[in-house]
Every structure is written in C-alpha cells, then in structure tokens.
Amino acid sequence: MATTSIPTSHHVKNLDLADQGRKRIEWANQSMPVLQSIRKDFIKNQPLKGLRISACLHVTTETANLMITLRDGGADVALCASNPLSTQDDVAASLARDFNIKTYAIKGEDNDTYYSHILAAIDHKPQVTMDDGCDLVTILHTKRKDALEGVIGGTEETTTGVIRLHAMAKEGVLNFPVVAVNDALTKHMFDNRYGTGQSTIDGIVRSTNVLLAGSKFVVAGYGWCGRGLASRARGMGADVIVTEVDPTRALEAVMDGYRVMSMAEAAKIGDIFCTVTGNKSVLRQEHFEAMKNGAIVANSGHFNVEIDIPALARLASSKRAGREFVDEYALRDGRKIYLLGEGRLINLAAAEGHPASVMDMSFANQALAAEYLVKNHANLEKKVYSVPVDLDKRVARLKLEAMGIGIDRLTPEQEEYLASWSEGT
C-alpha cells in the first residue's frame, strides 16, 4: 500500500495548467444544462451545507462541474482519481486553484500514488462518498476502517462498482447505504449506451485512425455499453460480431442483426476487438493465439483486467510503442497484435470520456442522490439502493426541457383508463 507523502490541500501535476483547465470546464458546462439547473437550486437552498464529500471519479471537465455544483450546494469536497490514466491535468489544476476543491490526481500516476490519493481523500473524513468502480469504498472497508464511522452514505457510478457493492452487501460487510446511481435509467441507459458507444469509437479512431467501414469489429459483452458500442460500430459501417455469456443477451444481439459466436471463433476473423463486459480475461492466451496479423485489441470496460495483458506479453518476443496509445506486440510467429491504451478504458485513455451532455445526466443523478442521502440516511439500511424513480424522471424532464422538446401528458381520461381493469375488447 502507498506510503508516498502528498500535500494535504491538493496534489496535481502543474497549477500552471489551470487557465486551460478552467476554459475547458466552462466549455463542458455549456453542455450540462441539467446540472446547471440543479446548481441554481443548490445555490439557493444549500442542501449540502457543511457536508464533507469525498469523490473518487475520473477527473474530467464534467466531473469538475459536478464538484463545483456540490460545493455550491454547501459541501466541502475532496476529489481523487478513479483511474490512473484518466485524469485531465489541466482540470485538476483548475479545481485546486480556482474552485477550492481538494484535488489529488495526476495523469499517469503509478499505483502507489494512485492509492495515496485515495487515502488523502479518506483523510478528508467524508460523510458522503462518491465512487466510480468502488475503490474508495473498498479501501474504506479494508485498510481504513477507522474512517467508516462518520459516513452516512455513498453513491456509485458504474456497473462494475455496483456488482462489487452487491457482493459486499451479500457478505454483510457493507457499512453504510449506497445509492447505485448507475441504476438510474437516465444514467446507465444514456451514459453506458450513448456515452460509451460514441467515446469508445472516438478513442479507437483517435489512437489508430483505422477505417471502421468494412472492418470486422468484435464487441465482447452485450450489456448497455456493448449495445451502444455495437450500434455505433455498425453506424460507422463495420461488420459487427458480438460475444456473450448470457443466452438472453446473446439472442437479443442476434435479433438486432449482429453475428454472435464464441470468442474462440471471433478471434480468428476479427480486425478490431473491444471488451465491455465487467469481467476479467475476456481476451486471453487462446484468443491471441488465434488472431490475425494486425489485430487491434482494446477495452472499454471499467478495469484493465478484461484483456489478459500478461498473457499477451508472454506470447510476444518484443513490444514497442507505435502511435500514441498503441503498443505493438510482436509475437514469436511473426504476427503483430496492437494493444490500445494499455488495456485501460480506451474512451478515457485516448479520447475524452463521455461527452458532457451525457455526463450531465449521470452527474445530475449524483448531485440529487447526495441530497437524497442527506435527507433520508436515517431511514436507510446498510445496503444498495436504486435511485428513486421520481428523481430519475426529474432528470429526464429537465433534459428534454433543455433541448426544447415538448412531450405529451396523459389526459384525465387516459389516467383513469390505465388505472382500471374492467374495460375490455
């Protein structure tokens, strides 16, 4: 575990980057009308007055706007990175310098520093935690049980984190209620599907400039992220192949017009592979051995374990950097395999993560979930909670309003009809 000593107020790469960061934070803000609306409300009503929040999130322009919203709601906020590669150093600098957020994050930080930053966020003595992958909560429950006491609740952003939290709750070790922001429709359906879909394509194209039209694009996993990615890859002209372990999802992919097969089969014909499963070793030795020369391999799932990189390294006689974010593995049989972004989420490593207008909804849910915890924590158990439906719909309604889109309302006659059961054929 990390022993690096870091400053208490912030630890960022270079404060001189703050001007650039501030400008980019403002740019993102323009695409986050829902959060803007909540922020106005927070400024007026101060629902988080005096609350200490520690957040472990990707340090991006969108996260910055969430932090500022929380702060404007009265909170005292600390922020560390949820991934060593995803930090935008200029944003971190601006948060520390311009917005009074205790920020601990440096792009490319080593493992020790990564954990020392989480520990710094825990030293903030959070009453509410915000997590993206459950690393903060895990450290709290293992190395830093001392800091558990004051926590009234937490929020979790990702599918991966929610899976871990359910495992913790099942084992009876979870010590406070956590709102699974990921489970909000306005979060996972939009963020995972539309956000991950576009930004993963963006990351792959930026790092390789490969033509997707006519390529064989293998999507491992057909959850919301996989659905979004498959849809966008096809939208760019690729011939998309899906792999799955769940028969219902596999069948859905078939009905959506994709080819479905085992990865053992897909490995032989794919040009580009991208994992979005939430599982580990989805691409492993047996698959690398079957791949075509020139195959491109990437991950857009939360952790960098979806591709078994050590296995790839063992097969290779040499490894060298090619383009930025591309590592060329020369295998002993002469084939080359290209690994993107060191197997970390390619949409954050090589692109900019979800567009601001997607994060707008995720983070609106985060902000409202924090408010919800403050109001309701006394009545909550130590388990995983869904985002209340009303809150979810409120986010959707705010978004539609911001887009200038009007929808229908039920007439009284229709409401009555839906509530009745005796009117028939």
Q: Binding site for NAD(+): what residues are annotated?
A: 158-160, 192, 221-228, 244, 279, 300-302, 347, 354
Centre a 10 Å sphere on the Cβ of residue 324 and count the other Cβ atoms it contains: 9
- What are 33's two structure tokens? 């009308």
Q: Which residue in 51, 58, 138 sits closest to 362, CA to CA?
A: 58
Nearest-approach distance from CB 1 to its own copies, in angstroms: 12
Contacts (CB under 8 A) with its own copies, residues 217-246? 231-232, 234-240, 243-246
Binders of its own copies in range 241-270 (CB under 8 A): 243-248, 250-252, 254-263, 265
Stretch that binds its own copies, among 77-85, 89-97, 148-156, 368-376 (CB under 8 A): 77-85
Please say which residue, 73 or 84, places its beta carbon nearer to its own copies. Answer: 84
| Contact flag: residue 135 with its own copies (CB under 8 A) | yes
What is the footprint of its own copies within residues 91-120 (CB under 8 A)?
114
Which tokens in the block code for residue 41?
A: 């409300």
- Structure-token pair, residue 154: 């937490």
Backbone dihedral angles phi then psi of residue 127, each to the nearest 5 degrees: -95, -30
Residues in the chain: 425
The whole-angstrom separation of Cα 101 and Cα 79 is 7
Give the DSSP H or E segment for 104.
strand 102-104
Which parts of 16-110 fold into alpha helices (H)?
Answer: 18-30, 33-45, 61-72, 89-98
Q: Which of 218, 355, 366, 369 binds its own copies (CB under 8 A)?
A: 355
Positions at the binding site for substrate: 60, 132, 157, 187, 191
- Asked if residue 310 binds its own copies (CB under 8 A), the reply is no
Q: Which two tokens stand for residue 198?
A: 């576009």
Please tell me whether residue 37 binds its own copies under the rule CB under 8 A.
no
Q: Interface residues for its own copies in 180-199 (CB under 8 A)?
A: 185-186, 189-190, 193-195, 197-198
Nearer to its own copies, 118 or 374 (CB): 118
Judge whether 221 and 244 are in contact, CB under 8 Å: yes
Size of residue set near its own copies by CB under 8 A: 112
- Could you tell me the smallest distance in angstroms from the CB atom of residue 64 to its own copies? 14
Q: Quote the CA–CA distance of 61 and 94 in Å, as a whole number.
A: 10
Q: Which of 92, 206, 219, 274 binds its own copies (CB under 8 A)?
A: 206
